[in-house]
Chains A and B, each alone.
Chain A
Amino acid sequence: MNHEIQTETFVENYRRALVNAQLQRALSNATAKFTIGRRLAVMSVGEDWEILRARAREIKEHAGNNLDYYLDQFTTNVERLGGRVFWARDSAEANNYIASLARERGATLAVKSKSMMTEEIELNRALARAGVEAVETDLGEYIIQLADERPSHIIAPAIHKTRGDVADLFTEKLNFERTEEIERMTALARRVLRERFARADMGVTGANFAIAETGTIVLVENEGNIRMTTSLPRMHVALMGIEKVIPRLEDLAVFLRLLPRSASGQQMSAYVSFLTGVKRAATEEGPDELHVVILDNGRVDMLANEHLRESLYCIRCGACLNVCPVYQKIGGHAYGWIYPGPIGSVLTPQLLGRERAANLPFASSLCGACREACPVKINIPDMLLRLRYEIKEGDEADSQRHNDKPIERWLFAKIKNRFAKSAERAAFKLWAATMKTPARFERAARLARLAAQAFDNRLPFARWTATRDLPPLAARSFREEWASRENKKS
């Protein structure tokens, strides 16, 4: 495992995951625990749950449809209260800004809280190149950083690791006497990270919510590492996608009831910080400098696509992962990038490019459990269908575009790939022609039945029959049976 994007090898990834017994145990344990916890927490809210979901949806739609207004309001307030705002179009711009900020201030150590946005732009690598050590301080993220891996779950990054794995890591990387006791390992991490917190010049966080009317950043956590990150170092850098802004403080009364329950089954996370601006006197707590980095990184395109706009409403609770039958089996790493599960299959093709993650939208049985679990009622199945369509349209445009390209492009793999793609399209064209002409449909069906019999019902359906039986085809179709009955009657 490493940090390279592995969306293109999705099939190899998931095959590896399916035969990894340890991963299978961890996944079934974790997803079951999260699902039950969530269900109980939702039950405790009673019928108000649906009212809250509808309201959250309404707020996100309203914020999305007026994003220009609310971002303007939010950033004006941040600056009014002494913060600085940096607008980044992509990861390079964001990374460069933060790295040069560190250089200018002579920062050599940054403590980080868990943030999907910093994963998305690979901030740690950029900081390392600039000579700044970035230390993850969320316990799960710290474990993942020591192991040099990617998180496998949005809210529980290290669920694929056993206590033994963690003990090995701590022994090897931190030179501690080996213990598998979770309490003691946690205490070790506390001790090591305490020292980093004390020394760090810069604290880097994401943002769960950004309140336009007050310029407040809201951060939700359980460990206290975000509170440390935002109150000990003299500089706080908060990264957020453009979609994080919500209009009013009172909106938090909705989202803070939904988020912890959906994420971890808690009524409330241990800590929620509402942070507004910088400290106002030398003898106040809090950072002297606040830098809010607002990233587009493909989000404006999402906003422009009205079929996919609602991907921006995600509050990163991870509930859709836990209830997804596919995620439950293949885990987070198989998806090949940082956003796994159903929402990942929607976000990744949009953020990395549809051609780079072309398998992901298809890797769903479209069961709809994700939509049911989503606290913001995001219609993930319909967006997966939409992306499938856009990917096929893209293939079509692609094959037309490349027809007159130089011969070098016709590498074997490409030809094979293209052949497979156009063969599929041709097959569906033929299928459509068959299905809209009943006589052809009947002929084709009869032929298929003969073929199936000739091959003992197996060979043509190998992708089915390798793992499952196929029921023997009926000797006569329904229409044939029906016709003969009608004949008898008359």
Chain B
Amino acid sequence: MADKQETLARIRAALGRDKTIAPKPLASFTPRAVNATDEELTSRFCLELERVSARVTRISSADEIKNYLKSLLPKDAPATVAVSDSRALIDAGLREWLAERGANILPTLKEFASSQSPRVNGNNGAELMESYKRELVQASIGVTSADYGIADTGTLVLVSGSEQHRLISLVPPVHVCLLDSKRIVATLHDLITRARAEHYSNRAPQAMTFITGPSRTADIELTLTLGVHGPRELHVLLHSHVQ
């Protein structure tokens, strides 16, 4: 059976050497910088996201987030809304507001755990996760924020650690995402440079997720269809420091 040393030895033989040597890294690659004002970056970001069937709205107050959400909530029945633990969402008082409107709020896994019995919480969270999954599939809207945006491609970047984003931005059919427009960078290269410095310099986050539009497929006759496994709708709310 193969093992690491045996495989690496065969690779060395294939490359014609008998010892692994640390290579001199390739010189860094710096693509042409983009000179754009913040406003230009924001416009580009919006344009690109709209091109991939997302809806982008610029907002200037926490009330506007609420008004926007109101338009998404079902009129007749109480909705289940999954809300992440991002600072911006907590500060906006979103949960309180949703609770007042009779919505059933599904919190993050951590908050969910505190409401469960020790039995559910045991076994490294296996059962906890099962219960959480069962709740999560009931949610009709997932609300998260994003850590960065990439103007060039209209991409939202969500980093685990800053908030619990993975399932909330994926499982409900509608994803609403809040982004501070000051955190929009020009290009993918800028994003990677920045994420590397801010998140990957010590221990890498378990997940960094790029989201560019709603879930899509073209697997049947190359016909574009939205919402195949992930959300069918992506709503991006752009703000600059909502109070």
Q: What residues of chain A have their CB less than 8 Å away from a CB belonging to chain B? A: 26, 29-30, 33, 48, 51-52, 55, 58-59, 62, 65-69, 71-72, 75, 81, 85, 87-89, 93, 137-140, 143, 156-159, 161-163, 166, 182-183, 185-187, 189-190, 193-194, 198, 214-216, 222-225, 227-228, 231-232, 234, 242, 247-250, 252-254, 256-257, 264, 266-280, 282-286, 288, 294, 296, 300-301, 303-304
* A residues in contact with B217, CB < 8 Å: 139-140, 186, 222-223
**Cα–Cα, bound, A282→B112 (Å):** 12
**Chain B residue with minimal CB distance to A82?**
B206
Chain B residues within 8 Å of A271, by CB: 209-212, 215, 230
Number of chain B residues whose Cβ lies closer than 8 Å to a Cβ of chain A: 84
Contacts known (A69-B21, A93-B2, A248-B25); A270 close to B214, Cβ less than 8 A: yes
CB distance from B75 to the nearest CB of A (A): 23
- Asked if B215 and A223 sit within 8 Å, CB to CB, the answer is yes
Q: Residues of B contacting A193 with CB < 8 Å? A: 229
Q: Chain B nearest CB: distance from A198 CB in Å?
A: 6
Closest CB-CB distance, A14 to chain B, in whole Å? 23
18 other A-B residue contacts (CB within 8 Å) besides A223-B217, A253-B29: A68-B20, A69-B22, A69-B23, A72-B8, A87-B3, A93-B2, A138-B219, A143-B219, A186-B227, A198-B133, A227-B230, A249-B195, A257-B188, A268-B153, A276-B204, A300-B7, A300-B10, A303-B11
In the bound complex, do residue A65 and residue B21 qualify as a contact, i.e. CB atoms below 8 Å apart?
Answer: no
Q: Which of A89, A214, A270 contacts B213 (CB 8 A)?
A: A270
Q: Which residues of A are found within 8 Å of B29, using beta-carbon distances?
A: 55, 250, 253-254
B23 A66 Cβ-Cβ under 8 A: yes
Nearest Cβ on chain B to A121's Cβ, whole angstroms: 14
**Nearest residue in A to B219 (C-beta to C-beta)?**
A140
Q: Is the CB of B170 within 8 A of A231?
A: yes
Pick from A69, A93, A187: contact of B1, CB below 8 A.
Answer: A93
A-B contacts, 28 of them at CB < 8 A, read: A51-B31, A52-B31, A71-B7, A87-B3, A156-B222, A162-B221, A186-B217, A190-B227, A194-B137, A222-B218, A223-B216, A223-B230, A228-B171, A228-B230, A231-B167, A253-B31, A256-B188, A264-B218, A268-B150, A268-B155, A268-B210, A269-B212, A272-B210, A280-B206, A282-B125, A286-B206, A300-B11, A300-B14
B residues within 8 A CB of A68?
8, 11-12, 15, 20
Beyond A66-B23, A214-B204, whether A227 also contacts B15 by CB under 8 A is no
Contact among B13, B26, B113 with A283 in the assembled complex (CB-CB below 8 Å)? B113
* Binary A-proximity of B78-98 (CB < 8 A = 1, otherwise 0): 000000000000000000000
For A242, what are the chain B residues with a Cβ–Cβ distance below 8 Å? 7, 11
Cross-chain contact of A67 among B15, B187, B204, B229 (Cβ < 8 A): B15
* B222 and A234 contacting across the interface, CB-CB below 8 Å: no
B36 at the interface (CB under 8 A from A): no
Q: A137-B229, A138-B219 are in contact. Are A231 and B7 (CB under 8 A)?
A: no
**Contact status A247-B26, CB under 8 Å:** yes
Q: How far is the CA of A157 from the CA of B217 in the complex (A)?
A: 12
B220 within 8 A of A: yes
Contacts of B26 in A (CB 8 A): 58-59, 62, 247
Q: Is B4 an interface residue (CB 8 A)?
A: yes
Contact A250 B153, beta carbon cutoff 8 Å: no
